[in-house]
Structure formats: structure tokens, C-alpha cells
């Protein structure tokens, strides 16, 4: 049997999915606070191939056939895209001059995979995290994301700024008419626990380590820049290169698939041809 048929097809499918990830990265190359995704491929579970045979042992009443099995080796039956891992790294800052734009800058973080986020509330009232500081003030004077979700303070309440005129200090305190409201900034020791959702929002995954208030944690430093947004950390040159790579890998798998097809063709047309 031709074992590699579906292996080659799975390679094509995995590369197509990789292409989707890269394409999405390129689409978001200019989305503030976007973190690029990296696809990782993984082989399907390993199979052990065994040779099935028999040896015959001579006995008094004829022969006795004993089955024997000899291990040939292992075979992977294909590849799939196992996970898309966001690359959590600081994006560059871009100045907009608009006071409602805030950029969150990581300082020293105690954990290698630690990361900081703004706290926002989604339409269902749940706590979500975002790096997109392209905020605005809604009709009622609350600070919201560009989708209209409330940006929360450290007590989990929406922030009433009244109008567009407010100052945010380096340590993330919003000063409105003399009142100081600390922005809610959360810290996760393991950023890979977070699940990407739409509109740049992250939700904690099923077994996520709970996020903590960044101000209470030990050794966590951050900086808020008003009038700036954090740019996407997608590197277009890298994404284009990976896209070329993916395309060629796809093409190679297609070649293999065609080669298998030609073998099949020979099986159909040439074996058992009479005359």
C-alpha cells in the first residue's frame, strides 16, 4: 500500500493553515498592540511498522506455521499545525498626539514569559486584557477602547474622564479634575496562558495562572506614554519570507502527492495488463 498519500496531503493542509496565520499577521502589520502569531508544526503520532511473516517448523504430521513479526521502523503519517503561539514582545511606539492614545511599555518583569496588559470589560461584562491602547471617550464620558468597551481602573470600575482633557502620568494614573484614578494594569507570569479573541482582546485560558495587579507584584515595572500607541510587532520582512517558505513547502508536498498518483496510475494501467 502507498502509505505516504495522506502524509503528503496533510503536509499541504498544514502549510495552508500556516499561510492563513502569516496572512493574518500581515493584515495586522499596522494594528496597534497586535502580537504576531507563529505557527508550530507537529508530526502526527508515530506508527511502528512491522513485517508480518511466518516461519514453518517441520513436524511429524506436516508443517506448523508460526507467525513472526519483525519491526521495521517508525513512520509518521503526516503533519498538522499544532498551535499558533503569539509572540509577546514589546512593539515600537508611534506618536499620534491624541490624548486618549495610551501605550503600555514593559519595564523589568520578574518572569521570562511575563507580560502586562490593560484591563477592559467586554460587552458581556467580563474582564479582558488588551495591548491596544488606541482608546477614546464615549458619549457618557467614559474611557473606552475603540470598540466601545470600558477601560477599567485598578478597582475594576469604568474610568470617567468627562471629556478629552486629562493627563495620564508615567505610572498609569489618570488625573481628571484633581482626582487620581490608577489604570488597571494586569500582569501575567505566563503570557501563553492567554487566548486571543477578536478586537485585540485576550481572555485567560482554561488552566491559566490568575493575572495579578501589576502594581502589587514584586519587581514589576511599567511605563505609560500618553499620546502614543504601541505598534504591531509583526515584522513584514520575516512574514513574507516565511510565506515564501510555506509556499515552497506546499509545492513540494504537491509534487510528492503527484508522484504517488503516478505510481497509482501504473498500478491501475500496467499491472495485470495482458498481452
Partner 1 sequence: MNRSMIQASVTMGQIQHKLDVIGHNLANTNTPGYKSRQADFSSLLFQQIDNLSDEGIDEAANQEAAPYRLTPDGIRSGSGARLAHTNIDLSQGNLKQTDRALDVALLEDNQLFQLQVATENGLETNYTRSGNFYLNPLNNGQMLLTNADGLPVLGEDGQPIQFADDMDGMQIREDGAILVNRNGVEAVEAQLGIVEAVRPRMLEAAGNNRFRLTDNADIVGEGIIANADGQVQSGTLETSNVDISKQMTDMLMAQRAYQFSARSISTSDQMMGLISQLRS
Rounded Cα gap, residues 2 and 97, in angstroms = 63
Rounded Cα gap, residues 177 and 185, in angstroms = 22
Q: Given the complex with partner 1, which of 186 and 253 has the nearer CB atom?
A: 253
Q: Given the complex with partner 1, which of 106 and 253 has the nearer CB atom?
A: 253
Sign of the torsion formed by the C-alpha atoms of 245, 247, 250 and 251: negative
Q: Given the complex with partner 1, which of 42 and 55 has the nearer CB atom?
A: 42
Three-state secondary structure call for residue 153: strand
Beta-bridge partner residues of 112: none
Determine contact, residues 16/243, Cβ cutoff 8 Å: no
Distance of closest approach, residue 250 Cβ to partner 1, in angstroms: 5
**Phi and psi, residue 254, nearest 5°:** -65, -40
Q: Given the complex with partner 1, which of 222 and 260 has the nearer CB atom?
A: 260
Distance of closest approach, residue 235 Cβ to partner 1, in angstroms: 12
- Residue 215 grid coordinates: 502594581
Distance of closest approach, residue 146 Cβ to partner 1, in angstroms: 4
Distance of closest approach, residue 218 Cβ to partner 1, in angstroms: 24
Amino acid at each position: 500500500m502507498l502509505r505516504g498519500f495522506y502524509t503528503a496531503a496533510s503536509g499541504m493542509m498544514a502549510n495552508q493553515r500556516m499561510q492563513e496565520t502569516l496572512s493574518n499577521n500581515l493584515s495586522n502589520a499596522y494594528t496597534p498592540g497586535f502580537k504576531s502569531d507563529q505557527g508550530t508544526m507537529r508530526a502526527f503520532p508515530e506508527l511502528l511498522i512491522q513485517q508480518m511473516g511466518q516461519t514453518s517448523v517441520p513436524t511429524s504430521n506436516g508443517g506448523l506455521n508460526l507467525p513472526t513479526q519483525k519491526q521495521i521502523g517508525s513512520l509518521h503519517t503526516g503533519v498538522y499545525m499544532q498551535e499558533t503561539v503569539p509572540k509577546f514582545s514589546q512593539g515600537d511606539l508611534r506618536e499620534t498626539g491624541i490624548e486618549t492614545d495610551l501605550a503600555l511599555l514593559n519595564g523589568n518583569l520578574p518572569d521570562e514569559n511575563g507580560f502586562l496588559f490593560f484591563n477592559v470589560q467586554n460587552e458581556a461584562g467580563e474582564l479582558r486584557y488588551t495591548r491596544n491602547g488606541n482608546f477614546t471617550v464615549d458619549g457618557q464620558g467614559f474611557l473606552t477602547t475603540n470598540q466601545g468597551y470600558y477601560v477599567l481602573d485598578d478597582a475594576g470600575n469604568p474610568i470617567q474622564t468627562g471629556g478629552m482633557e486629562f493627563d495620564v502620568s508615567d505610572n498609569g494614573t489618570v488625573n481628571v479634575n484633581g482626582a487620581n484614578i490608577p489604570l488597571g494594569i494586569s500582569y501575567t507570569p505566563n503570557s501563553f496562558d492567554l487566548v486571543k479573541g477578536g478586537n485585540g482582546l485576550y481572555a485567560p485560558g482554561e488552566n491559566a495562572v490568575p493575572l495579578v495587579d501589576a502594581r502589587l507584584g514584586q519587581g514589576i515595572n511599567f511605563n505609560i506614554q500618553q499620546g502614543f500607541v504601541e505598534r504591531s510587532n509583526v515584522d513584514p520582512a520575516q512574514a513574507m519570507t516565511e510565506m515564501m517558505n510555506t509556499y515552497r513547502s506546499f509545492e513540494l508536498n504537491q509534487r510528492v502527492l503527484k508522484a504517488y498518483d503516478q505510481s497509482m496510475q501504473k498500478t491501475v494501467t500496467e499491472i495485470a495488463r495482458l498481452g
